[in-house]
Structure 1
């Protein structure tokens, strides 16, 4: 009986390893077979799916999750990203400009929700949030500096290639966006209604 059980376990492990191998191969093929434009369009298409509904140990449900998943910044970004990719002025510089624009929008939202959250806290809680935000900002800046130095400013040349600047801006954007949504969740957990400063112009 023990031999049979061991045999079944070995078969199960073999199937799992085979499945993992297939997934890895198909992902590799997809990356190598797709054009840069296709990859970027896929990135834009999943931007709004990044809100997982859980930050740390906190659950977001219902109206708040819908609001964050369909926020005006992401909606606008998707439309502008698609328009740029289909336009005659499409270039790396144009992409960087677009990413920079949305980094500023998310930065504005981050500062707004940070100050709103501060206004709802007692002195001890305020100090904790201030220290938390300082820690996040330090991580954000150091991470950006590390990536830029190691993968963009190397003596042997940039590791990322021509799209490196775009990818770096997207990463910066993503970190600011994630922190903003995190603070929005905290604000909501205290019984407040989350509102975005930015009013979308695209649909």
Structure 2
């Protein structure tokens, strides 16, 4: 029973979460890990809802225009379409899910680097220093959080708590954290009087 409770809490937390000068602040390290044989097994197809909460962005958006724009962003739109297509495909599997999550982790990571560098150009030297330290702190949290979840819920000597879907859930949590941080920085950029444009272009025709 305790294991079931822990599983439910972790899944809920994973879905709630969804790097000076010109630098790369990428976070791709965790998502490059190879899945275990168990994680690549074929799984039973079932509809799963992707939850995207507002998180910590939108707090400074008085008009609501920023939230409206990022809520309908091309990355989420394409992800939802690809997820739905995969979920309905006969080729659906845990390994296929991991490929999809990995793809969109990289896309959000690229977007994070882009907005981070754009925001730096809007700041004076003291503000830049503060943002750099803030981003370092966020990155440390992001990596340590992943390490904790992996160690406690997937690498226990008694066996994984999360089961075959554990690696997918961890990837979704990674993507969620990067997505939320990207949107936070985009909001700061907007508050400073700039218009946000996503680097990513939709693959939809």
Common topology (TM > 0.5): yes
Q: Are residue 162 (structure 1) and residue 171 (structure 2) matched? A: no
1:77 match: 79
Quote the offset at 1:58 in angstroms. Answer: 2.2
**2:90 corresponding residue in structure 1:** 88
Higher share of residues assigned helix: 1
Change (3 A) 1:199 1:71: same
Deviation at 1:91, TM superposition (A): 0.2
Q: Is the 8 A contact 1:151 1:160 kept in 2?
A: yes
TM-score, with length taken from structure 1 = 0.76
Pick one of 26, 47, 54 that aligns with 1:51: 54
TM-score (norm 2): 0.75
In the TM superposition, residue 96 of structure 1 has moved relative to its aligned partner by: 0.6
2:58 touches 2:66 (CA, 8 Å); kept in 1? no
**Counterpart Cα distance in 2 of 1:146 and 1:62:** 35
User: Does structure 2 retain, via aligned residues, the 8 Å contact 1:79–1:202?
Assistant: no
Distance 1:113 1:61 in 2: 21
**In the alignment, is the contact (CA less than 8 A) between 1:51 and 1:68 conserved in 2?**
no
Unmatched tracts of structure 1, length 5 or more: 1-26
Kindly indicate whether the alpha-carbon contact (under 8 Å) linking 1:60 and 1:185 is maintained by their aligned counterparts in 2: no
Match of residue 176 from structure 1:
178
Alignment of 1:62-141 (within 5 A): 62-141=64-143
* Partners of 1:57 and 1:109 in 2: CA distance: 20
Distance 1:36 1:170 in 2: 18
Structure 2 counterpart of 1:3: none
CA distance in 2, matches of 1:114, 1:90: 35
Q: Which structure 1 residue ranges, 4+ long, deviate > 4 Å from structure 2?
A: none
RMSD of aligned alpha carbons: 2.1
Relative contact order: is structure 1 or structure 2 higher (C-alpha 8 Å, sep ≥ 6)? 2
Structure 2, gaps ≥5 residues long:
1-7, 13-43
Structure 1: how far apart are the matches of 2:62 and 2:87? 33
